[in-house]
Chain A
Amino acid sequence: MSQDRHPTEDLPAYALGVLDRDEREVIAAHLETCAECARDVAQFHEAIYDVAAVGSAEAGDPPRGLRTQIVLRHRDAPVPSATRWGDQILEFLLRPVPAAVPAALAVLLVVAFVVVGASRQQAGAYERALAGVVDGRVVALAPTGANPDARGAVVIPTQGSPYLVARLPAPPPGKVWEAWVLKPGASGPTAIPAGTTERGDVFTLSLTVPLGDGDGVAITLESASGPAQPTTQPVLLADRT
């Protein structure tokens, strides 16, 4: 797509994350070379973020059980491929938010999922899994760029242990999906291993570590031996719950 053909009509949908994969890739390529369109997308992102900040429940009735979910779709830039995972997390957490967002948003930052290129059957299974949550809080995890088609959420029941609902491809042989609870600290979050699974598609994973107020959650691809610290960048991340 040349710069003199701006995809103006598709920019709102791109910002909202509702384009299909092929459409999204075309727009993304254009944005790399067009500051004008990139500025428009940034404004749409900010509008979405602002809506989330003031209470997106007005956007309509959410699926049953998702009543506390707020959308933050502002942080869609890929996580840089740094070698130190801690640095990546820290950079993600320190990324500035728009000035228009009230500090109250810190109470709950939830990131909308992006469904691109996934089968409707899988999306339906994922939605049904979340819709089955009748008593608790659901905090969505953000796809970080390592796997833009990933979806995930932390379910924090009123009673009982928190667990993850995720939609990810099956890990390669010898690998597992590993969940981490991110405990905030003065020098950055500390990642504590909180469970592994070899499953793929739509699955649930109970967190083996208590989830404190404001803790983050991440999922990474790790070796089956289960390292003590993450060795790859997260595919899904919530900087705080």
Chain B
Amino acid sequence: VGRLPPEQREVLALAFWSGYSQSEIAARTDTPLGTVKSRVRLAMNKLRESLEDER
């Protein structure tokens, strides 16, 4: 997770720690919803790839 770009870590943190939905994250961070969705998608794909690499 530490290797993710800060903006991707941010959306993960808001999801993990606060349980916000994408639209709520977008509102709280004043970020377009499409950008939040993209960050979630990229971050999660990287996490999955990282997990596969470790196996």
- A, B: real partners: yes
Taking beta carbons and an 8 Å cutoff, which residues of A are in contact with B? 9-10, 12-13, 15-20, 43-44, 46-48, 50-51, 56, 58-63, 66, 69, 71, 100, 112-116, 120, 123, 127, 151
Which residue of B has the minimal Cβ distance to A114? B19
Residue of B22, B25, B43 with most partner-chain A CB within 10 A: B22
Distance (Å) between the CB of A209 and the closest chain B CB? 27
24 A-B pairs with CB atoms under 8 Å apart are A10-B37, A12-B44, A13-B22, A13-B37, A15-B44, A17-B15, A18-B40, A19-B22, A20-B22, A46-B48, A48-B44, A56-B16, A58-B1, A58-B2, A58-B9, A59-B1, A59-B13, A60-B10, A71-B16, A100-B55, A114-B19, A115-B20, A116-B21, A123-B24
Residue of B19, B24, B27, B37 with most partner-chain A CB within 10 A: B19
Q: 7 more A-B contacts (CB under 8 A) besides A13-B37, A47-B50?
A: A9-B37, A56-B16, A59-B13, A100-B51, A115-B18, A116-B21, A123-B19
Complex CA gap A62/B14 in Å reads 8
Q: Number of contacts between A and B (CB, 8 Å)?
A: 100
Are A44 and B18 interface neighbours, CB within 8 A?
no
* Interface residues of B, dominant DSSP: helix
Complex CA gap A62/B15 in Å reads 10
8 closest residue pairs by CB, A with B: A60-B13, A12-B44, A113-B19, A62-B17, A47-B47, A115-B19, A58-B1, A47-B48
